Amino acid sequence: MTRLAMGRYLVPLPFLLKGDNLMSQYVLGVDLGTSAVKVSAVDRQGNISAQESYAFPLSHPQPGYSEQNPADWVMGTAVAIVRLILNDHIQATDISGISFSGQMHGLVLLDKNNQVLRPAILWDDTRTTKQCQEITTQMGERFIDITHNRPLEGFTLPKLLWVQENEPEIWQQATTFLLPKDYVRFRMTGKLATDYSDATGTVMLDADQQTWSPEICQQFNIPLSMCPELKQSIAEVGHISDSFAEFSGLSPATKVFAGAADNAAGALGAGILKPNRVLSSIGTSGVVLKYEANASVNYRGLLQFEDHAIPNTYYSMGVTLAAGYSLNWFKKTFCGQESFTKMIASAAKSVVGAHGLLFTPYIVGERTPYADADVRGSFTGIDGTHQKGDFVRAVMEGIIFSFRDIMAIYDEKDSTFDTVISIGGGAKSELWLQIQADIFNKKVVSLKNEQGPGLGAAMIAAVGLGWYSDFQAITRQFVHLGPVHEPIPKNVAQYQKLHQIYQQVYRQTQSLSHDLLAFRREFN
């Protein structure tokens, strides 16, 4: 009898497979993040019936390097699934389908036997500045014409070029590259593929033709055969293999769907399915993401442009590198053991504009709209009357001003929208929700059931199975909006004046930031 190991116990596999094959009840959404994987069991009505997670380590072998062992993703996903089956009593035969949300841009290299050649290079690895410069030098604006993106350190193509230049013995053995979630799916099914949303994040996809770009691959000596087969997010890639079924306790009958990049899956889980909606997400970094109906829009690399998980649609995205991180930094540095709730309450005692105090959240450099790794943050306007609450409010407002800078790019393109869906840290505070409404001058809505990319992954599986006809239909059932925060006209007027001052800070501190950073590197 086949047995599944779980801690010190051995469980007979047939015991795990009991259930009614005629009425499968769940889909699994696998959310593969940077620090952990979370697997959610979601029923046909969109209820989260159970969730399990498993953390895995990060490796930083040198400054600027960020790597992981792909085997840890597979092990972590399997353990989380085993826990769903054993601890949460989700019957394996009640699981109809599985899909994925994955951390973007990471590079997994496989040899001719589909064995991993080196640790995965992750999205936050910054070793590839030289390779990004080479891409720009060799292709210039033509690269943006093809991909609708600029080459940035986080993307996959610069990582491929780094391996090509720095690890030629590895490069000679490489026959396939995959993105992180695609490697997990390969280990589940034995099938090599990626979806379009993750493929655009490699900056090797022709955004208009929706194919791997022969021109880019030829320019940089990358065989087209290295590029995995392209699939729609809702495409069925295969079934659970016998080996992974034995490993995880899943049924080999379970269908596996391609899935999506985490931002695309997160947009699904937040209901970003129409051009009138924009996502405001405050995590460690911050994201402003907008649904795009077609590929004709080209922001010339000022914003990232990616395929959506919804077939034949797209999204654009700007990033603030230190959004929630700025507030965490302030709390850790200046507020000691004080709770976040109490710290935010102090900001409520301040006023719009924090009594003339401005904060720019460039404390780890910036991505959008400046793409300046060496700029640094600042408090501007400090005087002796300012209290702690003013500083907290200035940080909160500064983060949202940086989001407003991203939205200004949409204004320039006449890309209108009327609703902002707020998720993450910015949605957990009534004050911060109102600040967003006032600075954006848009109605701001949070989610009643915020589950992020994991819910989006489950939605992909449910649509792929045919439980729902399309993403519009499933969103009505799975995604629930909270109260609306309307902009207050008086506050809007004040913030518009203050934002004009905020926009001057980058230009007037850019050279100072670079000089100070050069000093620090020389003497500290």
- Burial (CB count within 10 angstroms: exposed 0-12, middle 13-18, buried 19+), residue 20: exposed
How far is 161 from 220, CA to CA, in rounded Å? 8
Cis ω before 369 (30° cut-off from 0) = yes
Q: Quick one: tokens of 434?
A: 């109102």
DSSP conformational letter for 229: P
Contact 179, 198 (CB under 8 A): yes
Q: Which of 182, 195, 262, 438 is catalytic?
A: 262
List the one residue out of 270, 347, 357 whose CA is nearest residue 315: 270
Per the annotation, the verdict on 262 as an active-site residue is yes
Determine the angle formed by the axes of helices 340-348 and 388-412, rounding to 10 degrees. 80
How far is 377 from 364, CA to CA, in rounded Å? 8
* Residue pointed to by tokens 């280990």: 187
Q: What is the CA radius of gyration of the chain?
A: 23
How far is 428 from 442, CA to CA, in rounded Å? 18
**Bridge-based pairing state of the strands 48-55 and 108-110:** unpaired
How far is 120 from 243, CA to CA, in rounded Å? 23
How far is 419 from 432, CA to CA, in rounded Å? 16
Tell whether 104 is in a known binding site. Answer: yes
How far is 28 from 14, CA to CA, in rounded Å? 20
Tell whether 204 is in a known binding site. Answer: no
DSSP sequence for 359-390: EE--BTBB-TTT-BTT---EEES--TT--HHH
Binding residues for substrate: 104-105
Binding residues: 104-105
Annotated catalytic residues are: 262
